[in-house]
């Protein structure tokens, strides 16, 4: 994987670059100047672009818009400290393939980047509820999903509620006293039955349908 980073904080750029390189990920450039970063994205054609949200000359959304205007096709990911609903929604609507937080665990960040490069849209688990509430009432009714919810087992409904709270597989496993592998199998089954491609989409359905107030917990 080849990564290009645009972030005005030099220490963060250096630290993340070292982390990624140690994991076998090539950092083709890590720059603080937005205009230079935009030029280098076109010249170096990385597999994924990491963008900070808050920068002095241009903010991350403006850089995202400019890159999309130039018909840059590779995934662009916001990597930021901002948890504001407007930033999350605007970034995804603007064409971002992911919205990740700078305080993520390194393993979670690497997995998210791999999933994004593979074609998924990933939002940090902590922001799932924010995103779900933001889109609630703004999307068409999900009749097929309504029916699919009835196909979920009690345990799958319980895990879906934990997903809606933004919990990772490790946290869900610890809370329910089961293994990470078991949680992964349940999550795969949930996505398949709901006919969605990401945990975020499943969590949005859970919030929209208010299923977590219907006694989904099991012993």
Specify the pairing of strand 98-101 against strand 76-80.
Answer: parallel
E strand or H helix at 3: strand 2-6
For tokens 């005005």, the residue is 8
How high is the pLDDT of residue 176? 93
How high is the pLDDT of residue 5? 96
CATH topology for 134-213 is: Arc Repressor Mutant, subunit A (1.10.10)
Q: How far apart are CA 168 and CA 153, in angstroms?
A: 20
Q: How far apart are CA 108 and CA 168, in angstroms?
A: 9
Each residue's pLDDT tens digit, 103-160:
988 999 999 999 999 988 888 887 877 766 665 545 444 444 556 788 889 899 999 9
For tokens 């818009």, the residue is 65
Mean pLDDT is lowest, of 53-62, 95-104, 192-201, for 192-201
For 173-187, what is the mean pLDDT?
A: 92
Select the more confidently predicted residue: 195 or 77.
77
Q: How far apart are CA 97 and CA 170, in angstroms?
A: 24
How high is the pLDDT of residue 128? 74
How high is the pLDDT of residue 140? 43
How high is the pLDDT of residue 133? 62
Q: How far apart are CA 23 and CA 20, in angstroms?
A: 5
Q: How far apart are CA 110 and CA 164, in angstroms?
A: 22
Domain ranges of the chain: 2-123, 134-213
For the chain, percent of residues with pLDDT exceeding 90: 48
Torsions phi, psi of 121, nearest 5?
Answer: -105, 125
For the chain, percent of residues with pLDDT exceeding 70: 88
134-213: same fold as 2-123?
no
For 38-54, what is the mean pLDDT?
A: 94
Prediction pTM value: 0.65
Beta bridge partners of 77: 50, 98
How high is the pLDDT of residue 135? 57
List of residues 6+ apart from 149 with CB closer than 8 A:
157, 194, 205, 209, 211
Task: Choose the most confident range, by mean pLDDT, from 15-19, 188-192, 213-217.
Answer: 15-19
pLDDT grade for 28, boundaries at 50, 70 and 90? very high
Q: Each residue of 48-60: b (16+ CB within 10 Å) or e? A: bbbbbbebeebbb
Q: How far is CA 58 from CA 16, 33, 36, 109, 137, in A?
A: 21, 9, 12, 24, 32
- CA atoms within 13 A of residue 113's CA, in its CB half-sphere: 28
Mean pLDDT, all residues of the chain:
85
Q: How far apart are CA 122 and CA 15, in angstroms?
A: 22
pLDDT of 16 strictly over 90? yes
Domain 2-123 has CATH 3.50.50.60: no
Specify the long-range contacts of residues 168-173, CB closer than 8 Å, at least 24 apart: 168/108, 168/125
Each residue's pLDDT tens digit, 50-90:
999 988 888 899 999 999 899 888 999 999 998 888 888 88
List of residues 6+ apart from 55 with CB closer than 8 A:
6, 7, 8, 32, 34, 63
């Amino acid at each position: 994987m080849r990564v290009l980073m645009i972030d005005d904080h030099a220490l963060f750029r250096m630290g993340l670059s070292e982390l990624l390189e140690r994991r076998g990920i090539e950092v083709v450039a890590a720059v603080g100047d937005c205009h230079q970063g935009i030029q280098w994205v076109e010249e170096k054609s990385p597999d994924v672009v990491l963008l900070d949200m808050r920068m002095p000359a241009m903010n991350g959304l403006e850089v995202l818009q400019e890159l999309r205007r130039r018909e840059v096709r590779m995934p662009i990911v916001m990597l930021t400290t901002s948890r504001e609903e407007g930033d999350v929604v605007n970034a995804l609507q603007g064409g971002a393939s992911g919205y990740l937080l700078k305080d993520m665990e390194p393993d979670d960040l690497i997995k998210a980047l791999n999933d994004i490069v593979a074609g998924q849209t990933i939002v940090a688990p902590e922001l799932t509820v924010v995103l779900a509430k933001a889109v609630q009432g703004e999307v068409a009714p999900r009749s097929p999903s309504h029916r699919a919810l009835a196909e979920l087992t009690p345990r799958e409904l319980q895990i879906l509620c934990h997903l809606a709270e933004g919990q990772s597989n490790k946290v869900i496993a610890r809370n329910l006293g089961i293994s990470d592998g078991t949680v992964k199998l349940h999550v795969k089954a949930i996505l398949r039955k709901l006919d969605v491609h990401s945990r975020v989409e499943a969590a949005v359905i859970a919030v929209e349908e208010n299923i977590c107030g219907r006694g989904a917990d099991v012993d």
